[in-house]
Structure formats: C-alpha cells, structure tokens
Amino acid sequence: MPTVQENIMDNNKNMNDILNIAIAQIAPEWLNKKATIKKIEEAIREAVIQNAELVCFGETLLPGYPFWLELTDGARFNSTLQKEIFAFYLNEAVSIEQGDLYSICALAKKNKIAVYLGCAERAGDRGGHSIYCSLLYIDKAGIIQSIHRKLMPTYEERLAWSIGDGNGLKVHALNNFTVGGLNCWENWMPLARTALYAQGENLHVAVWPGNVANTIDLTRHIAKENRMYVLSVSGLMRKEDIKNNIPHHALIRQNANDFLGNGGSCIAAPDGSWVIEPIVGKEVVVTATINLNEVRKERQNFDPSGHYSRPDVFELNVDIRRQKLVNFQSE
C-alpha cells in the first residue's frame, strides 16, 4: 500500500494539473511607458485577487502598438513627421538592461504569478536604437526566462520594428503544464508553431494588438492542431487613448476609427471548444481554470510531435542563437 507521503505527492501532482490563467485585455497609456507599467501592475494585482497563476498581456502593450503608421503615411521616406514619432516611440520603448521591468518582476515574485508580456523593446545588445516586438516570459520567481523577438514584423510594422531571431522560441514549465508563446501573425507560421510543439507545449499564448478578426478562428485552429489549450490575449486601443503629448496627435486622431484595436481575447480548449469566448470592446481581467488531463485525452488520437510526427520523413532545424552584430574577444 502507498505510504501517506506517497499519497500526498500523488495529490500534489494531480493538483498541479490544474492551472488558473488570466487574460488582461487592457488599453495602454499609449506611448507612455511609466503610466502603462502602472496599469499593467494594477491588472496583475487584479489577476492575483482572482487566484491566477499566469496572467497575459497583448502584443507590445508596453508602451503600445505603432498604430500611427497606417494613419500618417508611414511609408514616406525621410519624412520629418515619421522621424519625430519614431524618436518619441524609441524613447518610450522598454530597456530591459536599464531595469524598466524591475517593478513588474518584483510584483510577480511577491505574488508568485507568472506573466507573459508584450513589449516594444529597445534592445541594448543591438545598439539600443532599434525596436523589437518582444514577448517576455516572467516566471513565478520574478525572473525573465525568455525574450522572444518577433521573427517577421507584419506589413507596416516593418517601418517601426526590426526583424527578430529564434532565441526566444522556448517553452517553460508552469505547474505540470508546458507553456510557450508567439507574437501576432507568427501564430500563422507552421514552423514556428512546430518549434514549440516539439518541446512539449500544451498551453500556448498568442498575443495580439487587438482585433477579434485575428483571434476568433486561429485560436481554435491551433488548439485543435496541437490538442492543447490556447490563450489569445489582445490589447485594446480607442481614439481617446491618443493623448495630446504624442507628436502629431491631432493628425493621428483625425484619421483614427473609434476603435483601433477592439480586443477579441479568448481561450480555447484542446478539443477546440471555447473556455472563454472572444471578448470585444472592453477592458477586462478574467480568469479561467484549465486541466492538463483534457490535453492527455485529446492527444490519444492525434499528437503532432509524437505518434503522428514521422521524424523519419520530416525534420525541422531551429537556430536559437541570439543574433549579434559583433562578438568581442579578449586575450
């Protein structure tokens, strides 16, 4: 017969199959790093009150998505207007090396809650004057475990963001779950998804700037493709979020719709059913409880990285080195 200690260990293992995950669909204090950090911290505290163990935020929520590009003739070469807005954006972008995320990490550690956070990152290891669309995973100990820079900025995003690399294509243990994440249209990239699936991913976080058209179909598709939970989290952006301190705010506001990003955050189960249906047009922090045993049941008939993978026929090579311009060597 099992001992008391063995029974306790088994019960703890089963308890770790249960995970409370939170969507934080909020609007940034657009292009204001300090004010947006405070808003993110408020959302983390709300998720803690709801007993969440993981809380997720939208693509480049900190300090905001470059919505101005399509509203201000963003592709015009050598435009003084575009230079002025970019300089403002660059100054408000996140510098991890300079400790911009210290308070968020400390809050995660204090409350033992993991965080997926989308940032516009001013990368010190690439000179500090280019911006990357980065997705960060902060663990329950408040440690940044991965920084995934978007592999390919989408369409007009290329006018503001640099091309990332494979360094952040990593998964992380969270209770008994294995969690990974991708930025926006990276979630359409089969090989990027495969790189995470093959590492045992069973909870996927897809981050978006905010549009239900992006989340309503793909969230359920990815869930069914890898028979896992998928949390899609979007930002929210309204015309009134364009404040007067932003360069050329009047022009941006003049050309903006009432909603530049309408949300659409949702969670799908391993069978493709909704755990939380898409939430549109409002700021909200909402929590759901998921169970790893539902993944196990759905993997019985299809496991794309296991019994259905055929590695004798297909092979994917992934370069996870951080791209560097210069490697300095000393004697």
- Listed by start position, the domains of the chain span 18-298
Closest residue by Cα to residue 145 from 194, 191, 178:
178
Distances in Å between the alpha carbon of 8 and those of 1, 14, 53, 293?
A: 13, 10, 21, 19
Catalytic residues: 59, 150, 184
- Assess whether pLDDT exceeds 70 at residue 9: no
The two structure tokens encoding residue 135: 């997705």
Distances in Å between the alpha carbon of 299 and those of 113, 189, 220, 315?
A: 28, 22, 16, 21
DSSP state of 20: E
Looking at residues 7-18, what average pLDDT do you find? 70
- Assess whether pLDDT exceeds 80 at residue 5: no
Q: What is the mean pLDDT of the chain?
A: 95
Residue 140's pLDDT band (boundaries 50, 70, 90)?
A: very high
According to DSSP, the residues that pair with 132 across neighbouring strands are 121
Residues 6 or more apart whose Cβ sits within 8 Å of residue 167: 146, 147, 148, 149, 320, 321, 322, 323
pLDDT score recorded for residue 1:
62
Looking at residues 86-92, what average pLDDT do you find? 98
Looking at residues 259-270, what average pLDDT do you find? 97
Looking at residues 212-216, what average pLDDT do you find? 96
* 18-298 carries CATH number 3.40.640.10: no
